[in-house]
Amino acid sequence: MPNAIIRLFGEGHRVFFLAAGLYAIFALIVWEGWLGIHAAGGMVSEMPFAAPPHLWHAHELVFGYPAAAMGGFFLTAVPNWTGARAARHAFIACAAGLWLAGRVAIWYSGSLPPLAVALVDLAFLPLLAAKVLTQLLNRPKPQNMMFLGLLAMIWTGNLLVHLDWIGVTMTLDAGLRLGLYATCALIAVLGGRVTPAFTRNAMKRDGRTHALPGTPLPLNIASIALPILTALAAALPVPAAVFGALALAAGLAQGARSAMWRPGWTWNQPILWVLHLGMAALALGFFMAGLAAFGIGSEVAALHVLGIGAVGGMTLGVMSRAALGHSGLPLIAPGPLALAYALLPVSMLARWAGSSLGIEGYYTGVLLSGAVWIAVFTLYAATLWPVFWGTRAPRGSH
C-alpha cells in the first residue's frame, strides 16, 4: 500500500483524475439527496456550507470538479509539450492537498469566516498556473501560453463569486457564468486540438490517407476567439443581444469545424467518439445559450448542456484516455468505460428536459440526470481504479 500511495502522487494524472471522478460522484450525491428530500415533501433546514444548496452545487461543478481535471491534465501534458521536468511527488501532493482544502473550506463555509474560505479556495489555480508557467518557459509557444490566460479567467470567475459571498460586490451570477464559459473556451481550444489530431492519427493507423480531419485556419481562429469573447460578455454588463450574438456565432463555429473532423468514422471506437460527442455538446450549448438570450428556450438548460455534455463529456474522455495511455495500456475503452461515455448524454438530455418541460418535469428530469451522472463517474472510477494506483504496464505487454 505505501508503494501505491507513492505512485498515486508520482504523476499528476493519477491523483487528480481519481479525485475528479470521486468528487463528481460526491457532489451529485449531496445535491441528489437534498433535492430528493424536498421532492418527497421533506425539508433539510441546515447544511454545513453557507451558500444555498443550489449555489453550492453550481460552484462545485463549475470550479471544484473541473479544477481537478485541469490539474491532472496540465501537470501531465505540459512536460510532454515542452520537454520540461515533470512535477515531483511533493509538489503533486501539495497541489492535490490544496485543491482538497478548497473543497473542505467550501463544505464547512457555514462555520468559517468567508475571507478565509475565499483565500483557501482561490489558492489552487495560481499554484497550478505558476508550475505550468515554469514548464512552458522551457519551450514557450503562444498557442500554449494562452492557457494561462484562460486559467486566469476561470480564477477571476471564482474570485467574483467569493467577493459576493464576502459581501463586497454583487457578482455571483457573473462569476459563475464567467467560470463556466471560460472553462468551455478552454475546451474549445484543447478539444479543437486533440479531437481532430487523435482521429487523424487513428485513421492513418488504419491505412486511411484521404479525407482526414482538418479545419481551415479562419474557422479555427473563430472557434477559439468567439468562446473567449462569449465568456467575457457573460461576465460584463453588455446587452443581452450582444451576448446572444456571440454565443450563437460560437455555437455555429464549433459545429462547423466539428463536422469536418469525420465523427462518423469513429463509431466503433468509444475512446474517440466520446471526444466528438463532447465537442458537439459544446456547439449545441453555445447555440442554445445564444437563443436563450433572445428569449428562445431555457438559459438554465443551455448551461447544463455545457456543464454536463461539454465539460463533463470532454473531461471524462480526456481523463480516461490520458490515464490509459500514460499507464502503458491500449487506447481502447473497456466495456464499462464505454458505457459511461454512452450514458453521459442521457444525463445531459434529462437535465435539459428538467429545465425545459416546466415545473411538472423538473424533479423527475433533474433527479434522473443526477442519478445517471453518478453512474457514469462510478463506472469511470471503478474501471480506472487499478490504473491510478498500479504500476505502468511493461512495454510491449499489449
pLDDT in tens, 124-160: 999 999 999 999 998 888 889 999 999 999 999 999 9
Helix or strand (DSSP H, E) at 250: helix 240-258
pLDDT higher than 80, residue 340: yes
Would residue 93 count as lying in a domain?
yes
Question: What's the pLDDT band for 248 if we cut at 50, 70, 90?
Answer: very high
- Interacting residues of 260 by C-beta distance below 8 A, sequence separation 6+: 196, 213, 214, 215
8-45 residues labelled b (16+ CB within 10 A) or e (exposed): bbbbbbbbbbbbbbbbbbbbbebbbebbeeeeeeeeee
Would residue 397 count as lying in a domain?
no
Question: What's the pLDDT band for 172 if we cut at 50, 70, 90?
Answer: very high
Asked if residues 25 and 60 have their Cβ atoms less than 8 Å apart, the reply is: no
Displacement of CA 174 from its chain's centroid (Å): 19
Would residue 90 count as lying in a domain?
yes
pLDDT of residue 41: 84
pLDDT in tens, 178-201: 999 999 999 999 999 999 999 999
Q: Give the C-alpha separation, 31 to 44, whole Å.
A: 12
Q: Give the mean pLDDT of 55-72.
A: 97
Question: What's the pLDDT band for 394 if we cut at 50, 70, 90?
Answer: low
- HSE at residue 367, side-chain half, CA atoms within 13 A, is 13
- Interacting residues of 190 by C-beta distance below 8 A, sequence separation 6+: 73, 147, 314, 318
pLDDT higher than 70, residue 398: no
Would residue 394 count as lying in a domain?
no
Question: What's the pLDDT band for 397 if we cut at 50, 70, 90?
Answer: very low
pLDDT higher than 90, residue 208: no
pLDDT of residue 390: 87
Would residue 202 count as lying in a domain?
yes
Would residue 184 count as lying in a domain?
yes
Domain count, the chain: 1
Numbers of helices and strands, H then E, in the chain: 16, 0
List the domain range (segments joined by +) for residue 365.
2-389
Q: Give the mean pLDDT of 91-117.
A: 97
Would residue 396 count as lying in a domain?
no
Q: Give the mean pLDDT of 280-299.
A: 97
pLDDT in tens, 348-380: 999 999 988 777 788 999 999 999 999 999 999
pLDDT higher than 60, residue 74: yes
Which DSSP letter does residue 331 get?
S
pLDDT in tens, 5-37: 888 999 999 999 999 999 999 999 999 999 999
CATH code at position 298: 1.20.210.10
pLDDT in tens, 212-229: 999 999 999 999 999 999
pLDDT of residue 42: 86
Q: Mean of the per-residue pLDDT values for the chain?
A: 94
Which DSSP letter does residue 260 get?
G
Q: Give the C-alpha separation, 390 to 350, whole Å.
A: 36
Would residue 395 count as lying in a domain?
no
Highest mean pLDDT among 43-57, 88-102, 206-220, 352-366: 88-102
